[in-house]
A and B are shown apart, each in its own frame.
Chain A
Amino acid sequence: MSLEVHLTHSQKGFQLEASFASRDGITAVFGPSGSGKTTIVNAIAGLIHADQGRITLNGKTLFDRAAGIDLPPRDRRIGYVFQDGRLFPHMDVAGNIRFGARFAPAAHDRAREAEVVELLGLKGLMTRRPGGLSGGEKQRVALARALLSQPDLLLMDEPLAALDGPRKDEILPYLEALRHEAQVPIVYVSHSVAEVARLADHLVILQAGQVVRDGPAEEVLGDPGVLPFVGVREAGAILTVTVAEHHDDGLSRLSTGAGDLVLPGVTAPVGTSLRIRVLAQDLLIALEPPRGLSSRNILPVTIESLHRGEGPGVAVQLRLGSHRLLARITARAADELNLRPGLACHAILKAITVPRSSIGQVSGP
């Protein structure tokens, strides 16, 4: 799959100028409210008509202002999961789901329906009305409905934004399962770094209508330059690790390929690939291998670069084998330790600072 988006659009005194390309997997479009995320996905879906630009999907031109091409939404073959669900209130869950299949190009495939129903855990809900569903259930139905329309691309506009914490945790595993199934590429709009860090393969950061970063999620989130966009509290690299061993005391050993981490609360079987998020503010840097320290997570790293911001903080990019980590320390500490690119040192991470919700499953053993 290849999606290419070049857009210029102005509305209500707001100017959007965005260009990015995305490939298979989940492309997250991240940015604060009002940065133009929804405008972009609405333009991709054909629900709004951009002033200028071009959108192509797998070589098919969906929109080209200069050439006068503007396919209506029904001809774009793009599924859309809206923030507010938009289920049809007069149909039960089965009716809603089959509405998606009704206009699909290939005949309705019962096996695929059963698969999607199974994947999204909808079996017990089929005869229920949308009015009686929880927010999380509604979004799962909306997702199934979009999937069964056999789209070439799936757009998800903050599908979790209207849900509270526990409901989000209820849906995220389904989204991960969907990514794992990899039948349809997804453009996922969110203003939550945690969601993006957990789901995105590819990340586009949007700020006031402009694309400020565009690249593989691990690379972008490990880049100290993104701190101003994601916020110092939320900044942090993602690491893909493998479950190596479960210990009797409830801790598990995870291999990064360049040193091991010991974390509690990991239930995935040995051999599973996990994606964990390490917040920049939860990393300490030591020049010497520390002794007499309570942390079990000390990794050998090399400093790649330092970024001084306007405040007293410094963002330090660290290399760990083939991974990158991000630490945020004070400028004074950086000066006193004489931190510089190329310096070998140690990154210390308290096990408890990897919250449960930052542990996402990438693939089975």
Chain B
Amino acid sequence: MTLRPEEWAALTLSLQVSLVAVLLSLPLAIWVAWLLARKEFVGKSMLSALVHLPLVLPPVVTGYLLLVAFGRSGPAGRFLEDTFGLVLAFRWTGAALAAAIMGFPLMVRAIRLAIEAIDPKLEEAASTLGAGRMAGFRLVTLPLIVPGILAGTVLGFAKAMGEFGATITFVANIPGQTQTLPSAIYAFLQVPGGESSAMRLVVLSIIVAIGAVLISEWLARRVAERIGRG
């Protein structure tokens, strides 16, 4: 199976967008998951609702809101362009932002469940041994939730690879720039004779999805062995 250049571009762009989206949002996802799992504070249910909003909102709505906020004339978009020279609208960076936001609730959810499964008394024990809160989290809880983090990362990655509605609304469908796998499949299906290209991309999508699951299961097994729960 040989790929035509625009098919190849869609694949690499999708991988790039998804990896960047997942890796950049992961630290924030861990922090939010920890807040939701371990802390009591005013506005906790608001934060939870906000995090989960992209899951229940129509993706087109999320994409439109992103366009309003992060478009070149939107407040956040103008700020980013003026301060960092970073443009999101109709760029691959915008696709990464859309993918990150859509995958975020899935990551937070998986990591939060993992944190809740760890006995907080372990961190208490660490504190009596002189470990501060950060050290206790880094040395005790974090290693124990690695399987949950992996699961969340794979879910987020899969969501990012498949994200369509918010992406196409926010950054459109520009071949080589913002055309991810789903957008490309959609585009090929709109033109006569595009079915074979679409089919090739469908097969690629399946391969990437299965590969991601296999890799994560293998990693999870290794981690389980390492932390002595295998």
Binding site for B on A (CB under 8 A): 45-47, 72-74, 76-80, 82, 84, 86, 88-90, 92, 99-100, 102-104, 129-131, 145-146, 149
Contacts and interface: CB of A to CB of B under 8 A. Distances in A.
B129 interface: yes
B126 to A, nearest CB: 7
15 contacts: A45-B128, A46-B127, A77-B130, A79-B129, A88-B122, A89-B227, A89-B228, A90-B226, A90-B227, A90-B228, A90-B229, A99-B126, A102-B130, A131-B229, A149-B130
Given A74-B132, A131-B228, A90 B127 contact: no
Interface stretch (B15-23, B59-67, B136-144): B136-144
B119, B144, B227 — most chain A CB neighbours (10 Å): B227
A89 B121 contact: no
B135 interface: yes
Contacts of B24: none
A145 B226 CA distance: 21
Contact of B229 (A47, A72, A79, A89): A89
A100 B143 contact: no
Main SS class of interface, A: loop
Contact of B121 (A79, A84, A104, A149): A84
Contacts of A47: 124, 127-128
Interface string B109-153: 000000000010110111111111001000110011000000000
Nearest to A86: B125
A63 to B, nearest CB: 15
Contacts of B121: 82, 84, 86
Contacts of B124: 47, 73, 86
A146 B135 CA distance: 17
B-side interface size class: 20 to 34
B229 A99 contact: no
Contacts of B143: 90
A80 B128 contact: yes
B128 A78 contact: yes
A86 B122 CA distance: 6
A89 B144 contact: yes
Given A84-B121, A90-B143, A103-B135, A73 B228 contact: no
**Most chain B CB inside 10 Å of its own CB: which residue of A72, A78, A102, A129:** A102
For the complex of A and B, the 5 pairs showing the least CB-CB separation, nearest first, are A103-B130, A90-B227, A129-B228, A86-B125, A73-B127
Contacts of B227: 89-90
Contacts of B139: 88, 99
Contacts of A131: 228-229
Nearest to B227: A90
Given A99-B139, A149-B129, 19 more contacts: A45-B128, A46-B127, A47-B127, A72-B127, A74-B128, A80-B125, A86-B119, A86-B125, A88-B139, A90-B144, A90-B229, A92-B228, A99-B131, A100-B129, A103-B130, A103-B131, A103-B135, A146-B128, A146-B129
Nearest to A80: B128
Contacts of B127: 46-47, 72-74
Contacts of B132: 74
A331 B124 CA distance: 52
B131 A74 contact: yes
A72 B128 CA distance: 9
A46 B124 CA distance: 10
Contacts of B135: 103
Given A89-B229, A90-B228, A129-B228, A99 B122 contact: no
A99 B138 CA distance: 13
A189 to B, nearest CB: 15
Contacts of B131: 74, 99, 102-103
Contacts of A99: 126, 129, 131, 139
A47 B127 CA distance: 9
A46 B130 CA distance: 12
B229 A88 contact: no
Contacts of A82: 121, 125
A334 to B, nearest CB: 50
A111 to B, nearest CB: 20
B146 to A, nearest CB: 9
A94 B140 CA distance: 15
Nearest to A75: B130
Nearest to A145: B129
A164 B129 CA distance: 27
Contacts of A89: 144, 227-229
A69 B225 CA distance: 44
Contacts of B228: 89-90, 92, 129-131
Contacts of A100: 129
A88 B125 CA distance: 9
A90 B144 CA distance: 7
Contacts of B144: 89-90
